[in-house]
Structure 1
Amino acid sequence: MTYPALKVAIVGGGVSGLSLAYYLRRHGAEPSRQLDITIFERKASLGGNAETVVVDLGIRRTEQGPDSHYLRWADLGVNDVNLTTYKKLEAIMREIGYLDHMKPLQDTESYFTRDGRLALTDDTYLQQGVSDPTFSLDAADDGLLAPLIQVVHRTALNLLDSITPSYTVGAYFDDCVARPREMLEAAARELGISINWADASLPARVESVRTLIYYPRIAAMYFADDRGPAEMPLEAPFQYYRVQEGGGEPRRRYFEYGAQRWLEALAAYLVEPDDTKPPVTIRRHADIRVRIEPGKAVLSDEYGWSESFDLVIVATHADDARRIVTLSDELMSIRERLDAILGAVRYTRSYAVCHTASGRLPPNKNVWRTYNIEIRDPGDTFFPYRIDYVANLHQNDPANPVYDSAGLPQYFVSLVNDLNCIPRQEMLDKVLDPTRLPKEMLDRLPESTRVQMHEGLHESGYKSELPDIDEDLHRKAWTYFKHNVLDARCIQAQRDIDRYNAEVAHAYRQGQASWPLLFAGGWTRGAGLQEQCMEQAERLSNWILGREEPPLK
């Protein structure tokens, strides 16, 4: 016996929504119960916090001539992954034929004070370039700092499965300073690193690891707490490290022509007709509302359209979910439960700017690395997203002679909490005229970038949430995005939404679901890395399709 196709609505066209559609489509071809999947995306473009721009760096002159404008692209959003640990992402990319577009980057870091009194470079994975021993992290403190960093790092990773969100980064380092041998000896033995536990300077060296390396790095993370790194749960940054940097020798890759291009490739794969798989439809410019009543879900928009669905999965930010989802009075207890969960998630809003303001970088140019992280004074604000990277190194120009030999000024992408951090005259202009681009470049850009050029659109990223912006600023190469703060309340909210999802998925499979509503999105799992979004998407799809029994503890 066959049944009508099960209508599934996915609200949100970022990596979470697209991944949900991928896993449902891949495993949802049961002969007795077909799926019909529709993705709704509020914006014109897919990809959430992703945007690619093209900038003009000046006139390139060669002996052969003629002179030409030197145009480069820059990824302003999510811009790199570690394929050693991003197993699901790599598998999907291989399936859709995208893996060759992931290119190695120059994975190097600098830690510096703005006044130039201190600078350290981590060139462990430098492939092409020059490393100055004067600034090498390996040589710092007579070679004693770098191995201690490894031990402190491994100790924190080993604690992840035994700590609660109340155990903060600050508490961890306080413990390491007060009782270094007790805290660190097991990890040192595991790594085969010899440490003189009787060294009277060891506690001060641990403080240096905290102040010079970890606090600056954590403060630069997109999910950082604006109250400072010390207040964050230890598991927040170190779960990130486990996914982003773990798994042995890293295979760091950047998204050629931007992360948005790969997500558009995934979207194209999803909507390609295939009689063996459930159909997927993607609706853009769909600012919809979700109304949940007992046993019923209705989506509607401001133009009078409405449609019922058998199941709705909201794969948006938590604050957007609160805005678009309404539960009827009959579901008041569920409404209150969800409001408490979603309301526990705080957000920061930040800017990514493409520019040539070299004053953002270390004063000594020899210290410039792919990622440049400022060591701030203890009294300085730790507002997140203050990090600057050299786009030429991130896009690995040393391995691309056509770019590396150009001799033109280097350009940078900075992640800041205020656009005024970058002088406007040093912000680069976006190239908005597609006829100026070589056909090869134009064809390789994300569709959303090309559409913005053709139609003169400004509303990329989350700019629609900003007050009026003058036309001159609109033309600059920047974007506005948001991310949840991964504090203790958010981690608890993630656990609470997992329990909620498991209960609903179980009831749904038993034919007893009174409210067909589930939640995904970056805020629901870890730091919201693409791999974690995919893990969550696969798990939810397995629960929905009965491939895995949801835990009900």
Structure 2
Amino acid sequence: MAYYLQKEGLKKHGENAAQKLEITLFERKASLGGNAETVVVDLGMRRMEQGVDVPYLRWADLGVNDVNLTTYKRLEAVMREIGYLEHMKPLQDTESYFTRDGRISLTDDTYLRQGVSDPAFSLDHVDHGRLAPLIQVVHRAALDLLDSISPSYTVAAYFDDCVAKPREMLEAAARELGIAIDWGDPALSDRVQSVRTLIYYPRIAAMYFTDDQGPGDMPLEAPFQYYRIQEGGGEPRRRYFEYGSQRWLEALAAHLVEADSSKPSVTIRRNADVHVRIEPGKATLHDDYGWSASFDLVIMATHADDARRIVTLSDTLAPIRQRLDSILGSVRYTRSYSVCHTASSRLPLNKNIWRTYNIEIRDPGDTFFPYRIDYVANLHQNDPDNPAYDSAGLPQYFVSLVNDLNSIPKQDMLDKVLDADRLSREMLDRLPESTRTQMQEGIHNSGYKSELPELDDALHRKAWTYFKHNVLDAGCIQAQRDIDRYNADVAHSYREGEAPWPLLFAGGWTCGAGLQEQCLEQSERLSRWLLGTE
């Protein structure tokens, strides 16, 4: 948001921009970036040439970890502008789907660049090659519906329709893709059910915004809007953040605050646990230590429930307070844990089908808990084109997103490295500043761990973090539309010099699935509304 306010402010006010607009960003944590979390872990000793043993230390992203530059056009443009794009590295974009008991094991190796793809498990060979093209058709048909459906049309309803009337639902998409489907095949409906049960339900259950009631109750537009951006645009250019996603956020922050008298100033205050009071034409921020300051406008980029907690509107704004409370209260949240570990039992029984993204297929009667996926870190954060970063063959370690911290045995959790002296100078210099700071302080308090009970020291030192995510259900989608209208109304009044109540909302919950590209899109739109540069 600060980036686009600065950019659009410069466009509107030219050489007077610095005098017209001053921006202060308040971050509750010591580190920037919401669900960005980068740690260093200890994997033991690595034997080098001539039999020399050295500590084998690796870094891992526990939160935001990759993007698709094919569709992340705004993100790519910003990265290019500030000189960060060269730090985005290609990852091994492959998937496996498996049942825990080993009955079913499938791999999607469409974008496998190096390695071995076993035809016995490849989706391209399942059901004599008939399943993979049907997946493409089902996917395209869902994408084609996005602009014509309401949030009440669920994932389950879509697949029920495809099972009951496959030709009516899928023929146009098949024709669009040039894929021949035998519409008279009596096994076609069963095959569509396999696409649902083996591929889409597990994948959607692994998404961070999934309803804890399961994938079927999600609006169809929720996962498929995500697919369109995160995996669409032709062949995806999936990239990970070299030495951690926080490095990107810190590079952006450095660009914003650099001394430049020609552009609006940006000040960043970290560890700022502030409260906001809104009155007609006035916004006041204060903390619990006696600090307070007034601002012309406040833009909340927090979770919706956090905004409800820290924002107070005066009694004279009671109708607005009621309107906002209804919108913000419509957004539900789930909690999850990201753990870095070596518990290979979470992966498929057959090591040869381990892939970058590993997604469990559940039995139909199982409860689908949200956000459960296992990353093989030596594939996910590994650049096979660069020998210095190619570590795919080294000891494997994993990052898992789970709904229960006890899902990973404590003895398999990796320890965070908190002693910076153990790192090589090259690694230390390239790690995010926030990761280095955590090492210096010997603590790790980012994310929402403060909401958890007291932890024993052993668990506190482990490489995990705690997140919360808004559920992208029909209520949240409606809240996004309502907050968009609210923002437009307030921005128009602000631009006209009225600003009856100086409060706006940005952040992940306000736009789609909350992907970085969507947050940038929403921030750019809101900045242009405010400054009249659209």
Question: What is the SS of the residue equivalent to 2:156?
Answer: helix
Structure 2 distance, partners of 1:498, 1:416, is 32
State the Cα deviation string for residues 110-153 of structure 1 (Å, max 9, x = none): 00000001111000000010000000000011100000000000
Instruction: Report the Cα offset of residue 56 of structure 1.
Output: 1.2
Structure 1 distance, partners of 2:391, 2:227, is 34
CA contact (8 A) 2:8 2:533 kept: no
Deviates more, 1:60-69 or 1:272-281: 60-69
Instruction: Report the Cα offset of residue 457 of structure 1.
Output: 2.1
Matched, 1:316 2:316: no
Deviates more, 1:67-76 or 1:389-398: 389-398
Normalised TM-score (structure 2): 0.98
Match of 1:369 in 2: 355
Which among 139, 155, 163 is matched to residue 177 of structure 1?
A: 163
Which among 43, 48, 52 is matched to residue 66 of structure 1?
A: 52
Matched, 1:483 2:472: no
Match of 1:431 in 2: 417
Instruction: Report the Cα offset of residue 396 of structure 1.
Output: 2.3
State the Cα deviation string for residues 166-211 of structure 1 (Å, max 9, x = none): 0000000000000000000000000000000000000000000000
Match of 1:4 in 2: none
Normalised TM-score (structure 1): 0.94
Matched, 1:358 2:344: yes
Instruction: Report the Cα offset of residue 378 of structure 1.
Output: 1.6
Long gaps (5+) in structure 2: none
Structure 2 distance, partners of 1:340, 1:91, is 36
CA contact (8 A) 1:169 1:233 kept: yes
Matched, 1:190 2:176: yes
CA contact (8 A) 2:161 2:169 kept: yes
Which among 91, 97, 100 is matched to residue 114 of structure 1?
A: 100
Matched, 1:499 2:485: yes
Matched, 1:27 2:14: no
Q: What is the correspondence of 1:116-515 to structure 2 with a 5 Å cutoff?
A: 116-396=102-382, 398-402=384-388, 404=390, 408-515=394-501
Match of 1:12 in 2: none
Deviates more, 1:31-40 or 1:157-166: 31-40
Q: What is the correspondence of 1:2-81 to structure 2 with a 5 Å cutoff?
A: 17-24=1-8, 26-27=10-11, 29-30=13-14, 31=16, 34-81=20-67
Question: What is the SS of the residue equivalent to 1:377?
Answer: coil
Structure 1 distance, partners of 2:10, 2:175, is 45
Deviates more, 1:62-71 or 1:147-156: 62-71
CA contact (8 A) 1:40 1:282 kept: yes
Quickly say closer, same or farther: Cα 1:520–1:20, change in 2 above 3 A. farther
Instruction: Report the Cα offset of residue 374 of structure 1.
Output: 0.2
| Number of aligned residues | 532
State the Cα deviation string for residues 378-414 of structure 1 (Å, max 9, x = none): 2222111110010000022544445656864200000
Quickly say closer, same or farther: Cα 1:211–1:435, change in 2 above 3 A. same
Instruction: Report the Cα offset of residue 465 of structure 1.
Output: 1.5
Q: What is the correspondence of 1:542-553 to structure 2 with a 5 Å cutoff?
A: 542-548=528-534
Match of 1:9 in 2: none
Match of 2:86 in 1: 100
Counting aligned pairs with the same residue, the percent is 80
Aligned Cα root-mean-square deviation (Å): 1.3
Match of 1:531 in 2: 517
> Residue type matched to 1:240 in 2?
Y
Matched, 1:518 2:508: no
> Residue type matched to 1:350 in 2?
S
CA contact (8 A) 1:362 1:368 kept: yes
Question: What is the SS of the residue equivalent to 1:58?
Answer: strand
Quickly say closer, same or farther: Cα 1:274–1:189, change in 2 above 3 A. same
Instruction: Report the Cα offset of residue 50 of structure 1.
Output: 0.7
Instruction: Report the Cα offset of residue 19 of structure 1.
Output: 4.1
Structure 1 distance, partners of 2:384, 2:453, is 40
CA contact (8 A) 2:12 2:533 kept: no
Quickly say closer, same or farther: Cα 1:144–1:547, change in 2 above 3 A. same
CA contact (8 A) 2:89 2:383 kept: no
Structure 1 distance, partners of 2:50, 2:255, is 42
Quickly say closer, same or farther: Cα 1:129–1:36, change in 2 above 3 A. same
Instruction: Report the Cα offset of residue 259 of structure 1.
Output: 1.0
Long gaps (5+) in structure 1: 1-16, 549-553
Question: What is the SS of the residue equivalent to 1:64?
Answer: helix
> Residue type matched to 1:163 in 2?
I
Quickly say closer, same or farther: Cα 1:194–1:428, change in 2 above 3 A. same
> Residue type matched to 1:219 in 2?
A
> Residue type matched to 1:491 in 2?
I
Structure 2 distance, partners of 1:200, 1:171, is 21
> Residue type matched to 2:288 in 1?
E
Structure 1 distance, partners of 2:12, 2:106, is 51
Instruction: Report the Cα offset of residue 23 of structure 1.
Output: 3.9
> Residue type matched to 2:262 in 1?
T
Structure 2 distance, partners of 1:121, 1:19, is 40
State the Cα deviation string for residues 403-435 of structure 1 (Å, max 9, x = none): 656864200000000110000000000110000
State the Cα deviation string for residues 11-46 of structure 1 (Å, max 9, x = none): xxxxxx454555455535443861000000011110
Matched, 1:87 2:73: yes
Quickly say closer, same or farther: Cα 1:267–1:99, change in 2 above 3 A. same
> Residue type matched to 2:181 in 1?
I
> Residue type matched to 1:237 in 2?
P
Structure 2 distance, partners of 1:438, 1:307, is 43
